[in-house]
């Protein structure tokens, strides 16, 4: 069963076509990597899947629901209920503590449960930093708070845009371990990355070039694995 | 700080705490406006109530005074500035028979030197307890007969009823104390005309004997018939007696008109200042809010990503603005209460106007009105920001932060 189906997705900025005619299916529980050169449309596609942005044309079906017809508030509700977002930049609210940053996501979703929020921080190894403000945390710690926040509401799909881009190797390993854990528990994971060693964790890798799917490879490393599809019409 | 729920109010407070100077500055501006509006209207209301009560209880429609003593009479009555002036006493009978005159009662104004009772000079006023209608409305209980050697004292004269008061070396028994009038009466001592004359002789204040002195009074208070206009009654009296007695007339209404004018000036000043401050507060807050909106786009985008709706963000901004508005308003009210109420008597004395306390309910009503008007400036000033936040898109703004 597919949790995500993209059909003919294009995104046009003035003269620039950031994405054109993307078709992509993501299966429930799959770990997918998206790679490609800078400017190839990776973030754009992630933002469309994450309900942060709307495609210029094409359709997105997430967990059985067609997104293009939804209003901004309905998209907000989907984002809140089904999607866990992890950014390249550690987007935390600067005047709330680590724990509160996690609890805010609970608040918008349903109910604030401090114990559960603490458990989520514990899971990313930050139980003892719960009362720290973002500026009192290292980059790796901030990213782990973001992950704790992304998974607090049991999202159906976790979207991570360069989750390790700003981290050193040790922190990268911690983050990847957490993603593995989530994956084992059944979460669907989509990771955008430049780093082959990050993509290597994935079951399948989509390579974007100039806003199109250049190729899809099984396994994490697009340079080694055999190609399974060409742009447009590829997917499963 | 661990908050259970992240309502707009909770986040708004956290955010205001994060920018203490900005928050305090804006709240201070609103507080200043509230202070001026509330303090000003209370003072203003105080004054006009004082005036009304004065006009209502001053009993007399007309005062006859010696020519050129209009100002002194006003000063003596309203502010208790002691002065002495004379009018021939036989005028009284002639006035009593004049058309339109219902009641006429004489007074004798005698400025004391520093009396032992009081640090300031007191105004001694001799009056005729039988025909009096000026003093009686202000005395508690009935003071049917003021006996020889007895005095009625104003509310701010220290000796209590039953105690003694020494004036020019002569002791008097305090028979009654007047209610607070807010005017010169409060620092005056009232005795019968005969006692004043005697005091003048005993105290060596006048040359000549009693029979010469008691031919004089200072003023005559008149109550006119409702069928006559006080001005017409006065004009007729002037026509008949002005030449013989060298007199002047004070219409009680005119007596108060000077105050009315200064009161009007004062209230328009207050209104203009308040309107100016309100506008200033609105403009400054609007500017600060929209600047803050720009610098907080990332924060707002993030909240949206976490699941806040546009409406929710709008409420967040409204909450922040309301905390500033109503917090500042409360501060201003508190400031007014601390500064104006304790010193109000002093303030009124220094501007030389009568002062009467307002009821708690009135003060409360004015406070509430000022609170709402001032507090609402916050949310009103944030309206533009609220409207633009409910329009902005998440994705481009988050990108700008990258
Ligand atoms: N709001 C926008 N307005 C105009 N052009 C945009 C906008 N957002 C993205 N683009 C353009 O769309 C193209 C794809 O951008 P996108 O951010 O998806 O690239 P990316 O693959 O994530 O690159 P990177 O690896 O550098 O993050 C780029 O050429 C970018 O300049
Ligand atoms: Mg990108």
Domain that includes residue A108, residue range: 2-234
Please give the structure tokens belonging to residue B67: 């020519």
What local confidence, expressed as pLDDT, does residue B379 receive? 92
pLDDT for residue A115 is more than 50: yes
- Mean predicted confidence (pLDDT) in A53-66: 90
Read off the CATH number of the domain in which A199 is found.
Answer: 3.40.50.300
Give the residue among B295, B290, B300 at the shortest CA–CA distance from B321: B290
In the beta sheet, which residues pair with residue B107? Answer: B127, B219
pLDDT at A231: 37
The rounded mean pLDDT for chain B is 82
- If phi > 0 it is left, if psi is from -120 to 50 it is alpha, else beta; for residue A162 that is left
| Cβ proximity of A119 and B345 under 8 Å | no
What pLDDT band is residue A168 in, cutting at 50, 70 and 90?
Answer: confident
SS3 of B23-87: the string is: HHHHHHHHHHHHHHHHHHHHHHHHHHHHHHHHHHHCCCCEEEEECCCHHHHHHHHHHCCCCCCCE
Closest of B128, B120, B125, B114 to residue B153, by C-alpha: B125
Structure tokens at B28: 């201070």
B19/chain A closest Cα distance in angstroms: 10
Q: How far is A231 from chain B (nearest CA, A)?
A: 26
Predicted pLDDT at B259: 66
Percent of residues, chain B, with pLDDT higher than 90? 19
Q: What is the ipTM of this complex?
A: 0.76
| pLDDT score recorded for residue B113 | 64
Q: Among A39, A51, A95, A134, which would you mutate to test the B interface (most chain B Cβ atoms within 10 Å of its Cβ)? A: A95
Using a CB-CB distance cutoff of 8 angstroms, which residues of chain B are in contact with residue A114? 2, 4
pLDDT at B353 over 70: no
* Per-residue model confidence (pLDDT) at position B4: 61
pLDDT at B290: 87
B103 within 8 A of B131, measured Cβ to Cβ = yes
Residue A37: phi, psi to the nearest 5? -65, 165
Alpha carbon distance B56, B240 (integer Å)? 29
Mutate to test the interface with A, among B4, B6, B16, B17 (most CBs of A within 10 A): B6
Residues on B contacting A at a C-beta cutoff of 8 Å: 1-6, 14-15, 17-18, 298-299, 302-311, 393-395, 398, 401-402
At residue B379, φ and ψ (nearest 5 deg) are -55, -35
Q: In the prediction, which pLDDT does A31 show?
A: 94
- Does the structure show a pLDDT above 50 at A236? no
Q: Which residue has the higher pLDDT, B163 or B254?
A: B163
Partner B contacted by A85 (CB < 8 A): yes
A83-97, B172-186, B348-362, B371-385: the lowest-pLDDT one: B348-362
* Segment B174-197 mean pLDDT: 85
How far is B16 from B20, CA to CA, in rounded Å?
6
Q: Which residue, chain included where needed, has tokens 């205001």?
A: B16
Chain A: residue whose CA lies nearest to B401: A89
pLDDT value at residue B357:
66
Supply A106's token pair: 């609970």
CB within 8 Å: A97 and B1:
yes
Which has more pLDDT, A128 or B346?
A128
Window A:141-170, CB contacts with B under 8 Å: 149
Beta-strand runs (E) in B157-258? 164-167, 170-177, 188-192, 216-217, 219-224, 247-251
pLDDT above 70: residue A20: yes
Q: What is the pLDDT of residue A32?
A: 94
In this predicted structure, what is the pLDDT of residue A220? 62
Contacts of B307 in chain A (CB under 8 A): 76-77, 79-80, 105, 108-109
Percent of chain B with pLDDT over 70: 84
pLDDT of residue B386: 87
Position with higher pLDDT, A235 vs B205: B205
Cβ-based neighbours of B231, under 8 Å, separated by 6 or more: B251
Hey, whose CA ends up nearest to atom 4 of ligand 1? A13
pLDDT score of B141: 63
Name the domain count of chain A: 1
Mean pLDDT calculated for residue range A89-102: 85
Q: CA B62, B68, B69 angle in degrees (round to 5)? A: 60
- pLDDT-derived band at A19 (thresholds 50, 70, 90) equals very high
**Quick check: A233 pLDDT over 50?**
no
pLDDT above 60 for A226: no
What is the pLDDT, as a whole number, of residue B309? 84
Query: How far is CA B351 from its chain centroid?
Result: 10
Helical pair B252-295 and B360-389, crossing angle rounded to 10 deg: 30
Is the pLDDT at B2 greater than 50, yes or no? no
Q: For residue B315, list chain A residues with Cβ-Cβ distance below 8 A.
A: none
């Amino acid at each position: 069963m597919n949790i995500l189906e993209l059909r003919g997705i294009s995104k046009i900025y003035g003269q620039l076509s950031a994405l054109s005619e993307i078709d992509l299916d993501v299966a429930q529980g799959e770990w997918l990597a998206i790679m490609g050169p800078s400017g190839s449309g990776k973030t754009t596609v992630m933002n469309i899947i994450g309900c942060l942005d709307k495609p210029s044309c094409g359709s997105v079906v997430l967990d059985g629901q067609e997104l293009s017809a939804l209003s901004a508030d309905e998209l907000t509700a989907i984002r809140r209920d089904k999607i866990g977002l992890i950014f390249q930049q550690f987007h935390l609210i600067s005047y709330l503590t680590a724990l509160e940053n996690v609890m805010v996501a609970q608040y918008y979703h349903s109910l604030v449960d401090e114990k559960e929020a603490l458990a989520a921080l514990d899971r990313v190894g930050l139980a003892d930093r719960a009362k720290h403000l973002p500026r009192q945390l290292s980059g790796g710690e901030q990213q782990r708070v973001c992950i704790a926040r992304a998974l607090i509401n049991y999202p159906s799909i976790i979207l991570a845009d360069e989750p390790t881009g700003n981290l050193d190797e040790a922190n990268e390993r911690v983050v990847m371990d957490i993603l593995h854990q989530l994956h084992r528990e059944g979460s669907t994971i989509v990771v955008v990355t430049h780093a082959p060693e990050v993509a290597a964790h994935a079951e399948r890798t989509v390579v974007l070039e100039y806003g199109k799917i250049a190729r899809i490879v099984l396994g994490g490393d697009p340079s080694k694995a055999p190609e399974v599809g060409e742009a447009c019409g590829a997917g499963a | 700080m661990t908050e259970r729920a992240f309502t707009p109010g909770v986040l708004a407070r956290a955010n205001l705490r994060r920018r203490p100077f900005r928050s305090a500055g804006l709240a201070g501006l609103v507080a200043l406006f509230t202070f001026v509006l509330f303090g000003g209207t209370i003072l203003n209301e105080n004054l006009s109530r004082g005036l009304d009560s004065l006009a209502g209880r001053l009993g007399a429609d007309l005062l006859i005074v010696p020519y050129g003593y209009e100002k002194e009479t006003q000063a003596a009555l309203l502010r208790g500035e002691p002065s002495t002036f004379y009018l021939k006493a036989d005028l009284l009978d002639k006035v009593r028979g004049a058309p339109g005159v219902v009641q006429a009662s004489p007074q004798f104004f005698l400025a004391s030197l520093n009396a032992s009772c009081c640090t300031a000079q007191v105004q001694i006023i001799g009056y005729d307890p039988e025909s009096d209608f000026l003093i009686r409305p202000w005395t508690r209980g009935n003071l049917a007969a003021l006996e020889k050697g007895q005095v009625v004292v104003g509310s701010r004269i220290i000796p209590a009823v039953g105690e003694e008061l020494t004036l020019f070396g002569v002791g008097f028994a305090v028979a009654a104390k007047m209610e607070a009038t807010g005017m010169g009466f409060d620092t005056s001592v009232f005795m019968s005309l005969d006692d004043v004359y005697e005091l003048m002789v005993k105290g060596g204040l006048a040359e000549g004997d009693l029979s010469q002195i008691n031919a004089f009074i200072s003023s005559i208070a008149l109550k006119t018939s409702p069928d006559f206009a006080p001005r017409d009654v006065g004009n007729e009296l002037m026509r008949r007696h002005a030449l013989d007695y060298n007199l002047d007339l004070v219409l009680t209404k005119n007596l108060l008109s000077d105050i009315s004018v200064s009161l009007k000036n004062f209230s328009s000043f207050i209104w203009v200042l308040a309107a100016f401050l309100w506008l200033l507060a609105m403009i400054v807050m609007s500017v600060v809010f929209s600047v803050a909106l720009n610098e907080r786009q990332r924060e707002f985008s993030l909240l949206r990503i976490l699941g806040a709706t546009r409406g929710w963000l709008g409420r967040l901004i409204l909450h922040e603005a309301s905390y500033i508005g109503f917090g500042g308003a409360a501060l201003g009210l508190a400031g007014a209460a601390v500064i104006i109420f304790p010193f109000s008597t002093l303030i009124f004395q220094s501007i030389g106007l009568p002062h009467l306390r307002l009821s708690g309910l009135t003060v409360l009503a004015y406070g509430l009105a000022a609170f709402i008007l001032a507090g609402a400036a916050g949310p009103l000033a944030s309206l533009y920001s609220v409207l633009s936040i409910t329009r902005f898109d998440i994705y481009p703004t988050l990108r700008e932060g990258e």
